[in-house]
C-alpha cells in the first residue's frame, strides 16, 4: 500500500472514531438532562433480572420454563414467565430500555450507556437480614451497594466525577426486599425465632433498612423508593408449609399477612422519620414508600376482575412448593399463565407484575415530576 493510501485510510479511521465519540457524548449529555436519567434497583427475586446466573448458588431460574412468555422464550434469570414490574417501570420512565439488565451480565457491565441508564443489582433469595442471603449463598444487600460504588467508578472514568455525581442525584433508586427474611428465614427456620420475638425481628429488619438507606445517601442518591412486603400468607409456598390441610383448603393465612402489614407500617413510619431528619441537613433527598401489599391483596380478593382463575397455586408444576430448580423443563406448566396470579409457588406471573406496575403508576408519576 502506498504511503498516500495509508495516510488517507488513517485519516478516514480517525474521522470515524471522532464521529462515534461525538455520538456517544451526545447520548451521554442527553441522558444527563433527562428528569430520570438512570434507574437503579436493589433487592431480591422480585427485582432480580438474572444476577444469580453469575454467582455460585442453586437459587437460579435461567432455564425453562422460566421466561416462557418472552418473545424469544429465553430464560433470563427472572423468576417469572416474562417481565418484572421493574422492567415496566424502566420502560415507562423513559430510560431508553424495555428490560432492566442485571449488573453482573457482562453485556451490561461493560457498556457505559447501559450502566448510565440503569441496571439491577438485586439477587434472588436476598434480604435485609444478613442471615437470609447466607441461606441461599446469594448477594447480600451491602454487597449490592458495593456494586453501585463500582458502577460509579466506571462512570467517573468516562464522564468525570462531577457529571457522575449529578447523574446519581437525578437518578431513581428502588429497593424491594424483606419477603425472604420472613418467608424463607424467620417463619421457616428456627434460628431467628430463638433470638427475636416477631416485633423484635421486624425492628431488627428496619434497622438494616436504615443502614441501607444511609449507604445510598452516602453515595449521593436523592430519590429513593422502598417497597413494602406482600401479603405473605397468600404465597402458595406459605400456604403449603403452614396450613394444617394445605392440599384441601388453600386460603390465605392471616397470621403471616398480618406480620407483613405490621412490618409495612413500621417501615412507613421509619421513612417518614428519616425524611423529617433529612429536611434540614439534606432537603433535596426524597424517600418514597411504594405499596405492594394492597395491590396484591386486591388481586386475591377481586381475582375475577383481573381475569385470574387460580390465586393460591403457581402455574409451574403442582404450584404448591416448586420454585427455582424445582420448577424446571420437565415440570408440567399450565396452558395459560395469564389466568394465574403466581408463576411458581412464590413469584407472581408477568400479568400480576404488570398489574403491580399499573398500581405503582401514580407514585412513579409523582416521583418523576418532583
Catalytic sites, residue numbers:
45, 344, 347
Q: Which helix (H) or strand (E) holds 270?
A: helix 254-281
CB 118 within 8 Å of CB 125: no
Q: Which residue has the cell 451480565?
A: 105
DSSP-derived secondary structure for 92-137 = HTTSS-SSPPBTTSHHHHT-HHHHHH--B---TT--SSTHHHHHHT
Q: Alpha-carbon distance 206 to 126, whole Å?
A: 15
Cis amide prior to 48 (ω within 30 degrees)? no
Chain centroid offset of residue 309 CA: 26
- 247: cell is 392440599
- 90: cell is 424502566
- Angstrom CA distances, 30 to 2, 37, 95, 113, 283, stand at 42, 8, 11, 11, 26
Long-range contacts of 144-148 (CB under 8 A, 24+ apart): 144/42, 144/43, 145/42, 145/121, 145/212, 145/215, 145/216, 145/219, 147/103, 147/104, 147/121, 148/40, 148/121, 148/216, 148/219
Angle, helices 141-159 vs 198-218, to 10°: value is 10
Rg value, the chain, Cα: 22
Instruction: Catalogue the E-assigned strands of the chain.
Output: 39-43, 172-176, 223-227, 286-290, 310-314, 340-342
Phi and psi dihedrals of 91, rounded to 5?
Answer: -65, -40
CB 35 within 8 Å of CB 368: yes
Amino acid at each position: 500500500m502506498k504511503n498516500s493510501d495509508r495516510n488517507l485510510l488513517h485519516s478516514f479511521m480517525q474521522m470515524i472514531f471522532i464521529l462515534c465519540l461525538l455520538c456517544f457524548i451526545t447520548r451521554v449529555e442527553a441522558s444527563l438532562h433527562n428528569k430520570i436519567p438512570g434507574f437503579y434497583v436493589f433487592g431480591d427475586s422480585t427485582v432480580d433480572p438474572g444476577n444469580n446466573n453469575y454467582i455460585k448458588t442453586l437459587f437460579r431460574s435461567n432455564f425453562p420454563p422460566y421466561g416462557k412468555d418472552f418473545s424469544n422464550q429465553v430464560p433470563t434469570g427472572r423468576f417469572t414467565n416474562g417481565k418484572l414490574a421493574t422492567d415496566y417501570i424502566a420502560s415507562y420512565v423513559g430510560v431508553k430500555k424495555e428490560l432492566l439488565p442485571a449488573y453482573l451480565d457482562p453485556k451490561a457491565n461493560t457498556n457505559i450507556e447501559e450502566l448510565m441508564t440503569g441496571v439491577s443489582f438485586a439477587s434472588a433469595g436476598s434480604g435485609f437480614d444478613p442471615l437470609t442471603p447466607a441461606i441461599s449463598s446469594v448477594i447480600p444487600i451491602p454487597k449490592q451497594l458495593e456494586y453501585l460504588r463500582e458502577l460509579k467508578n466506571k462512570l467517573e472514568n468516562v464522564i468525570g466525577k462531577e457529571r457522575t455525581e449529578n447523574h446519581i442525584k437525578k437518578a431513581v433508586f428502588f429497593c424491594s426486599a424483606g419477603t425472604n427474611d420472613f418467608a424463607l428465614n424467620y417463619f421457616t427456620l428456627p434460628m431467628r425465632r430463638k433470638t427475636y420475638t416477631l416485633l423484635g425481628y421486624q425492628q431488627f429488619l428496619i434497622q438494616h433498612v436504615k443502614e441501607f438507606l444511609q449507604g445510598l445517601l452516602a453515595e449521593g442518591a436523592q430519590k429513593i423508593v422502598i417497597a413494602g412486603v406482600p401479603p405473605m400468607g397468600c404465597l402458595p409456598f406459605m400456604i403449603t408449609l403452614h396450613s394444617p390441610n394445605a392440599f384441601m383448603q388453600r386460603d390465605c393465612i392471616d397470621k403471616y399477612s398480618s406480620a407483613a402489614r405490621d412490618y409495612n407500617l413500621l417501615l412507613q413510619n421509619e421513612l417518614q422519620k428519616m425524611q423529617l431528619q433529612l429536611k434540614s441537613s439534606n432537603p433535596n433527598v426524597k424517600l418514597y414508600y411504594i405499596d405492594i401489599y394492597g395491590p396484591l391483596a386486591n388481586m386475591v380478593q377481586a381475582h375475577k376482575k383481573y381475569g385470574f382463575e387460580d390465586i393460591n397455586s403457581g402455574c409451574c408444576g403442582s404450584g404448591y412448593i416448586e420454585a427455582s430448580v424445582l420448577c424446571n423443563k420437565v415440570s408440567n406448566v399450565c396452558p395459560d399463565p395469564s389466568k394465574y396470579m403466581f408463576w411458581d409457588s412464590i413469584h407472581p406471573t408477568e400479568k400480576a407484575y404488570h398489574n403491580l406496575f399499573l398500581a405503582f403508576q401514580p407514585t412513579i408519576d409523582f416521583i418523576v415530576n418532583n
